[in-house]
Amino acid sequence: QLTIHLWKHNEILTELENGIKNSRKLETFCRDFELQKVCYLPLNTFLLRPLHRLMHYKQIMERLCKHYPPSHVDFRDSREAFYGFVYLAALAEITEMVAQLHGNMIKMENFQKLHELKKDLIGIDNLVIPGREFIRLGSLSKLSGKGLQQRMFFLFNDILLYTSRGLTASNQFKVHGHLPLYGMTIEDSEEEWGVPHCLTLRGQQQSIIVAASTRAEIDKWIEDIQMAIDLADKSSDPAPELLASSPPDNKSPDETTVDQESEDDLSASRTSLERQSPHRGNTTVHVCWHRNTSVSMIDFSIAVENQLSGNLLRKFKNSNGWQKLWVVFTNFCMFFYKSHQDNHPLASLPLLGYSLTIPSESENIHKDYVFKLHFKSHVYYFRAESEYTFER
């Protein structure tokens, strides 16, 4: 019975989006709800939770079965043996359900991601079309007449979008140009332009030169763009023309003139992550912009499988005391609550770009089960209450 309901889950998402598109009242209601503190993630993400829960149940049953194999000493107890066989039967059933719904889940996550990106972008009206699949988004530098300028790039299976510099006054990114992937080639351009981690994306009608902050980052983009090009070429069907809600910039990227930006774009580019309005500042797009990194659809899928919640003790770099908090880790972000009974987080910490290490002796932590999260000058220590929680 549950499987039948979950099979129809995509119909719920589709009907909701159609309703929002056709009803000003419903659009306002959903937008106002997403502005509330309780809605700390995009609304559609919460609507996918029943499917995500199924994967989490599978993981729980796998851990139980691993802890209680038939050779376990407790199996001498008939009651424990009964529980063990129940766990195995439940795992088999849940595994079958997850396998049946896997394809449907991938389609719904892509559908949700396209609609989420649509809210972060302006200057494009037909981002969500049948057959379009999201692959990667992130920050790259685009070479122009004034040198390298940071832009946001969005890679799909048929097209690559890039934005103007910075955020607009509405806290969105403005689409500045696009390159169809059909017939595109990638060329290493480090020696030609003297820029590290640089490449030329040469389309059938125009080309652009981009660079990443690190070799690892540009390698991720090269791998995903080449994969998308191969898929587009195999389809033998050029991407549909994008409908711009404002006049697009059709200048050849080989020109040495500087891209034109609005005053909103320029002023917004100086806005920091900390000053973003609460409901927008922690979206993945904004975090990638401020941390100068990228994230792929595969990363999103892995993140869905690795959600955690529980008590942790937090300590700042320059403080002595530990504060006990209820922490929810989801969507590449840690959300902090005073207790598990609170209905909205007190604060959040986006983790894209952060490094995870164990404190050194020189840091004088002197506690067990402590891990360290750090990004540039930002340092946080977290302490688990048990070895099991620490390992998780």
- Domains, the chain: 2-121 (1.20.900.10), 123-300 (2.30.29.30), 307-391 (2.30.29.30)
**Residue 183 carries which DSSP code?**
T
Q: Which residue type occupies 135? A: I
Q: CA 312 to CA 323: how far, in whole Å?
A: 8
CA distance 380 to 350: 12
Residue 338 identity (one-letter amino acid): K
Q: Tell me the three state secondary structure of residue 164.
A: coil
How many Cβ atoms sit within 10 Å of the Cβ of residue 335? 21
| Amino acid at the residue 317 | K
Residue 54 neighbours by CB distance under 10 Å? 17
State the pLDDT at residue 135. Answer: 98
pLDDT, position 258: 31
pTM over 0.85: no
**CA-based Rg of the chain, rounded to a whole angstrom?**
24
Q: What are phi and psi of 377, to 5 degrees?
A: -90, 0
CB 137 within 8 A of CB 284: yes
Q: Would you state the pLDDT for residue 249?
A: 41
> How far is Cα 156 from Cα 262, in angstroms, rounded to an integer?
26
Per-residue pLDDT 10s for the chain (392 aa) are 666 777 788 888 889 989 998 999 999 999 899 889 999 888 888 888 888 888 888 888 888 777 766 666 655 555 555 566 677 788 888 888 888 888 888 999 999 999 999 989 999 888 999 999 999 999 999 998 888 999 999 999 999 999 987 788 888 899 999 999 999 999 998 888 888 999 999 998 899 999 999 999 999 999 999 999 999 988 766 656 665 554 444 333 333 323 333 333 333 333 333 333 433 556 899 999 999 999 999 999 999 888 899 999 999 888 888 999 999 999 999 999 999 999 999 999 999 999 999 999 898 888 999 999 999 999 999 999 999 889 88
The pLDDT value recorded for residue 315 is 92
Which one, of 231, 238, 151, 243, lies nearest residue 203 by Cα?
238
> Most distant CA pair in the chain: distance in Å?
79
Q: Is 255 exposed, middle or buried (0-12, 13-18, 19+ CB in 10 A)?
A: exposed
Distances 60 to 87, 95, 238 between C-alpha atoms, Å: 10, 11, 45
